Amino acid sequence: MGIPLSEPGSYKQKKVIGIGIASELTGLSERQIRYYEERRLIFPDRSKGGTRKYSFADVEKLVDIANKMEDGMQTFEIRKEELKKSDVRNKMLRGQLNAAFKMRK
């Protein structure tokens, strides 16, 4: 049986898409994509030659970012929202680990 498509090892997480293809898939310019990286909204890998590599999950995130920007959100608001989501995920994981190992704070 293969890896579930949403799992970390799935094809959605593999960073194999160049910025040109990411641009075509999202409708964003390469400059917009680089700007979102500068604003720490997206984190591509780099090849040995320095080429940006994105995953399908990154492409979906770029579309989400573009939609939020279109709705009037600023990059700092999107970043703050992402940090909040990350914090909630981390707390949930800590809770699950604590429950699994019967640990206390």
Q: Do the domain assignments include residue 6?
A: no
pLDDT single digits (tens) 24-39: 999 999 999 999 999 9
User: 88 lies in a domain?
Assistant: yes
pLDDT tens for 4-27 read 555 556 888 899 999 999 999 999
- What pLDDT shows up at residue 1? 47
Phi, psi of 40 (to 5 degrees): 60, 40
pLDDT given for residue 9 in this prediction: 65
Looking at residue 83, which CATH number applies to its domain?
A: 1.10.1660.10
Q: Are 44 and 54 in contact, with CB atoms under 8 Å apart?
A: yes
Q: What is the pLDDT of residues 34-93, one digit of tens each?
A: 999 999 999 999 999 999 999 999 999 999 999 999 999 999 999 999 888 877 777 787
In a domain, 71, yes or no: yes
Write out the residue range of the structural domain in which residue 77 sits: 11-101
User: 93, 39, 31: which is closest to 68 by C-alpha?
Assistant: 39
Looking at the 3D structure of the chain, how many domains does it have? 1
SS3 46: strand
- Whether 2 maps to a domain, the answer reads no
